[in-house]
Structure 1
Amino acid sequence: MAQDPEKFDTAMDTWQEWQEAPWGRLRYTLAEVNLMRHLGDGPGNAPLRILDLAGGDGGDAMRLAARGHHVTVVDLAPGMLAAAEARAAERGLSERVTCVRADVHALPADITAGGFDVVLCHNLLQYVDDVPGTLGTALAPLKEGGLFSVMAINRHSAPLNVAVRQLDPAAALDALDSDRLRTEMFDSELTLHTAEEIIPVLENLGCRDVRHYGIRSFCDYLTDDARKYDPTYYADLERLELATTARAPYTHTARLFQLTSRKRTAA
């Protein structure tokens, strides 16, 4: 399903407000913590080359660049990339953040042959038709043994979200057998997946050591959104989310799933 980049640029203000909201902050905090489980964060660790595919305005990239890593953000929306460059400049990170306008499915040769240590494929799968093809393309720039991170909306969460937030059990029943979701922010219809579906795809593409994390296991089912802005309440919620991001069964009903894996080394 081809997406119009202008849809994403048009929603820039709303998207940036979302990132600063409690649920947006949790999304980026949890993703960063889960990545650090595998990358480490000691003073002796050398800077890594990280590729952030469909990285938008650099929400993940800024955090990783602030840790000393070099991040290349690829996106097709020019407004998003301009915002990423502005954020990097504001934080004094311009030397560590490179923005490239390109289609993820037609990456420039210098990126596909780049030998990156880490590749992020966050919140892209719900916008594409060919999941195995997209993941295969995303893995191509990754070094053997490099870390791959995939994030997407969890289809298991959709019925729960409808039932709890809309108080509509009939719609929740319909959502049990649907893989479609409409996002008003970006005016797009999404295809939802589950971690259980994506894990074997990764393994068939040569990934090993797959780890499953949940992003926002509780936040989206707490209906008092206003209370989440209270610093004390938010701190308690963040601790709860951090305690359950890798803990079953909460990983299976979290709003998003994150999968990390290593690219298999050739025999």
Structure 2
Amino acid sequence: MSEAIKRYRNVVDQPWGRMFYDLIYRQLDIPDDRSLEILDFGAGFCLTADHYAGHHKVTAVEPNEEMISLRVQENSYTLVPQGAEYLSEIEDSTFDVVLCHNVLEYVEDAESVLNQLVRVLKPGGILSVVKHNDLGRVVAYAVLNDDPRAALDLLCKEEAEDSMFGSRNVYENEHLVSFLADRMELADTYGIRTFFGLSSNNEIKYTDEWYRSMLELETKAGTMDEYRKIAFFNHLIFRKKPAII
């Protein structure tokens, strides 16, 4: 198993890893009073799939065997060890909620994948997209890493950046909204990780007081446009429009 995957798995167990997911759960605010059909596309270690599987019927799609071997499985969900090719097997209007978190940056044909995710979503259903935001990463390089040169290079870059999952093609929120405009209505846009990744003092992050206060701060800041623009991630929530007859 690659060291990068091991390190990544360790990160999600740390307070700054857990907060990423806690913010997503707050922002989605999916009710537990009825069972929903949920698709988690690019489920990774299946933390989100497992979280929602406590009350809903969840299908987790993840092609990476190493990540699957380290997945969380406290609740029952269906694991599909495939990638985008699996989407063509799903019938139209199958899911109430489709999750696509930090995935579109790495697929070969993001627009084709988006078309499939919209197709399998029920009218009125929710599409949740979490994506990297380069302005936030500029702040992280300049502040957390004390590396203004790297921040400047990122601010001025024109080519895709490499990551552990291959080439990362970061795209603008406006492009996503425009591409989906005829089928999906943008319901909300949030920021994630505006502040909690900027301090190198990891010791304090293990205290309950820091976690509670930072979670509330991030929750509030994530709704404010000034902070959304510099958050490390953006979370866009769409609702599928009814079919035109």
Instruction: Answer whether TM exceeds 0.5 for this pair.
Output: yes
C-alpha displacement at 1:131, in angstroms?
2.5
Residue 27 of structure 2 is aligned to residue 48 of structure 1: no
The percent identity for this pair of structures is 30
Could you tell me whether the CA contact under 8 Å between 1:144 and 1:264 is conserved in 2?
Answer: yes
Name the CA distance, whole Å, in 2 between partners of 1:102 and 1:139. 19
Residue 19 of structure 2 is aligned to residue 19 of structure 1: no
Name the CA distance, whole Å, in 1 between partners of 2:11 and 2:144. 18
Question: Helix, strand or coil for the counterpart of 2:34?
Answer: coil
Q: Give the helix-richer structure, 1 or 2.
A: 1
Paired residues, what number? 243
Are the structure 2 counterparts of residues 224 and 177 from structure 1 closer, same or farther at C-alpha, using a change threshold of 3 Å? same
Match of 1:3 in 2: none
Question: Helix, strand or coil for the counterpart of 1:121?
Answer: strand
Name the CA distance, whole Å, in 1 between partners of 2:230 and 2:134. 9
Question: Helix, strand or coil for the counterpart of 2:116?
Answer: helix
Residue 71 of structure 2 is aligned to residue 71 of structure 1: no
C-alpha displacement at 1:34, in angstroms?
0.9
Question: Helix, strand or coil for the counterpart of 2:225?
Answer: coil
Query: What is the CA RMSD across the aligned residues, in angstroms?
Result: 2.1
Match of 2:162 in 1: 182
1:198 partner letter = L
Name the CA distance, whole Å, in 2 between partners of 1:15 and 1:71. 23
Could you tell me whether the CA contact under 8 Å between 1:102 and 1:108 is conserved in 2?
Answer: no
Residue 122 of structure 2 is aligned to residue 143 of structure 1: yes
Question: Helix, strand or coil for the counterpart of 1:120?
Answer: strand
Are the structure 2 counterparts of residues 75 and 246 from structure 1 closer, same or farther at C-alpha, using a change threshold of 3 Å? same
Question: Helix, strand or coil for the counterpart of 1:40?
Answer: coil
Match of 2:240 in 1: 263
Residues 100-111 of structure 1 mapped to structure 2, 5 A cutoff: 100-107=80-87, 109=89, 111=90
* Structure 2 unmatched runs, 5+: none
| 2:139 aligned residue (160, 165, 176) | 160
C-alpha displacement at 1:219, in angstroms?
1.1
Match of 2:27 in 1: 34
C-alpha displacement at 1:106, in angstroms?
4.3
Could you tell me whether the CA contact under 8 Å between 1:75 and 1:104 is conserved in 2?
Answer: no
